[in-house]
Amino acid sequence: MLDNMFRALGIPPEGPPVRKDSPCTTGDGVTDEERSLLGVALKNALAGPRHAWRKCLELEASQRAQGFAENANACQLYRESTIGTEVGRHCDQGLQLIRFQLMPIATDAFQRVFYLKTLGDLFRYRAEVASGQQNIDHQNAQALTTYEQAMTTAKANLHPCNGMRLATALNMAVFHHEVRKSTQDAVTLAREAFEEAVTHNDGLDALDEPSHSRGGKSPVLILQLIRDNVSIWTSEAAGQGQGSAVGSMRTMGKGGKDRSGKRVGR
């Protein structure tokens, strides 16, 4: 699917030359539909291999714990040589396309945030399958830098209720929690994004503004994901004896209402 998406944009998976009428050569940029399709293509191409990588890790650990070193070594070899290679290939394709073809012709801040967020995701995925601590650290550093650029651009240009801004905060928070192992940073960032959205002076009804759902990013859905993650992360921290990472945060109940009963979603 990812290869087909590249061809649709006039960019063969193997690289240049680019089709003459490609949006990457005409300077017209890509449409919201094309950009959304790219996001779906990347997600679908990487979901299976990343899931397989995690399952292989579990099986490998199980076999090693039971004393079956030969089986564990076979799992490790397959995981690194086959699954890791596939993940890396898809990530490299996405990184090449976005960094050198799409970012230079981004037409507005929304597109720039999307591309930067996606770059951060791809660097994070590469780090998941990287070998060697130096390489892992390098990929993580690139992910952190790119996520920070995405958040800076989003805060300067997009409404706090904008779905892309919220999605960027959510993904960066996940990166803090899962990769950097910093629950404090994850919860602080997620809570800040949540509170800025639901307490903005435009009122909670701003979440209904169609422009905030551009590209299919529903602000209400993302806010619910942020809320749920914060709840899970703070519970984990408390269970590990770290105490609450942050104070209380406003919640959304059924039907998209906050604690006061005011509607916050469609």
Looking at residues 206-219, what average pLDDT do you find? 69
Q: What is the DSSP string of the chain?
A: -HHHHHHHTT--TT-PPPPTTSHHHHS----HHHHHHHHHHHHHHHHHHHHHHHHHHHHHHHHHHTT-HHHHHHHHHHIIIIIHHHHHHHHHHHHHHIIIIIGGG--SHHHHHHHHHHHHHHHHHHHHH--SHHHHHHHHHHHHHHHHHHHHHHHHHS-TT-HHHHHHHHHHHHHHHHTS--HHHHHHHHHHHHHHHHT-TT-GGGGG-GGGGGGG--HHHHHHHHHHHHHHHHHHHHHTT---SS-----EETTTEETT--B---
What mean pLDDT is predicted for residues 21-30? Answer: 57
Residue 254 has pLDDT above 60, yes or no: no
pLDDT of residue 30: 87
Contacts of 150 (CB under 8 A, 6+ apart): 113, 116, 117, 119, 120, 168, 172
The CATH homologous superfamily for domain 158-266 is 14-3-3 domain (1.20.190.20)
Percent of the chain with pLDDT over 70: 74
Q: At what angle do helices 163-178 and 183-198 cross, to 10 degrees?
A: 160
| Strand pairing report for 252-253 and 257-258 | antiparallel
pLDDT grade for 264, boundaries at 50, 70 and 90: very low
Extents of the domains making up the chain: 1-111, 158-266
Comparing CA positions, the residue from 143, 226, 127 lying closest to residue 186 is 226
Q: At which residue do the structure tokens 């905060």 appear? A: 169
**Mean pLDDT of all residues belonging to the chain:** 83
d(CA 167, CA 115) in angstroms, rounded, equals 12
| CA distances, 153 to each of 115, 121, 213 (Å) | 11, 16, 18
Are 12 and 6 in contact, with CB atoms under 8 Å apart? yes
Q: Is the dihedral of CA 62, 68, 72, 74 positive or negative?
A: negative
* Residue 124 CB burial class (10 angstroms; 0-12, 13-18, ≥19): buried
More confident residue, 129 or 15: 129
How high is the pLDDT of residue 190? 97
pLDDT in tens, 164-185: 999 999 999 999 999 999 999 9
Q: How far apart are CA 19 and CA 28, in angstroms?
A: 14
Query: What pLDDT does residue 237 have?
Result: 80
Mean pLDDT value across residues 100-123: 95
* Digit-coded pLDDT (tens) for 136-157: 999 999 999 999 999 999 999 9
Tell me the whole-structure pTM to 2 decimals: 0.80
Q: Which of 226, 98, 239 has the alpha carbon at shortest distance from 174?
A: 226
The mean per-residue pLDDT over the stretch 251-260 comes to 41
Q: Is the pLDDT of residue 104 over 80?
A: yes
pLDDT tens-place string over residues 222-253: 999 999 999 999 998 887 766 544 444 444 44
Across residues 1-5, what is the average pLDDT? 56
Task: Give the mean pLDDT of 249-265.
Answer: 40
pLDDT class for 25, splitting at 50, 70, 90? very low
For the cut 70, the answer to whether the pLDDT of residue 86 exceeds it is yes
Question: Measured between alpha carbons, how far is 117 from 112 in angstroms, rounded to an integer?
Answer: 8
- pLDDT of 7 over the 60 cut: no
pLDDT at 131 (0 to 100): 87
